[in-house]
Amino acid sequence: MDVAAHFGRNLLHHRKQANLSQEELGVLASLHRTEVGQLEQGTRLARIDTLVKLASALSIPPGDLLAGIVWNPAVVTRGEFWVRAVEPEVNREP
C-alpha cells in the first residue's frame, strides 16, 4: 500500500470515529468536501498545512493521521580509497 492510500485509511477511520461527514470535516478544516474525499481515497496526498488542519478539526494529534507510515532511510557509508590491481606496462623499444 502506498503512503497516500494509508493516510487516506487513517483519515477515514478518524473521521468516522468523530462521526463527521466529509462535508462537515471539510468545513471544520477549511477544505472542500471533494479534497477530503480525494485524501481518503488516496488519490491526493496532504500537504503539511492540510495535515494540521485535518488533525485539529478531528481533535487528534497530527501524528495519528500518519500512524503506520514509516520512512526507511538509505544506508550511507563512508567513502574509502582502494587500489585497483594494474598490470605494469612492458617497456617497449621503438
Listed by start position, the domains of the chain span: 3-65
Q: What's the confidence (pLDDT) of residue 75?
A: 86
Q: What's the confidence (pLDDT) of residue 80?
A: 86
Q: What's the confidence (pLDDT) of residue 83?
A: 79
Instruction: Calculate helix-pair angle for 48-58, 3-17, nearest 10 degrees.
Output: 20
Per DSSP, 89 falls in state P
Can you identify the CATH homologous superfamily of domain 3-65?
Answer: lambda repressor-like DNA-binding domains (1.10.260.40)
Q: What's the confidence (pLDDT) of residue 69?
A: 94
Q: What is the pLDDT along the chain (94 residues), one digit of tens a residue?
A: 699 999 999 999 999 999 999 999 999 999 999 999 999 999 999 999 999 999 999 999 999 999 999 998 888 888 888 777 777 666 666 5
Q: What's the confidence (pLDDT) of residue 91?
A: 65
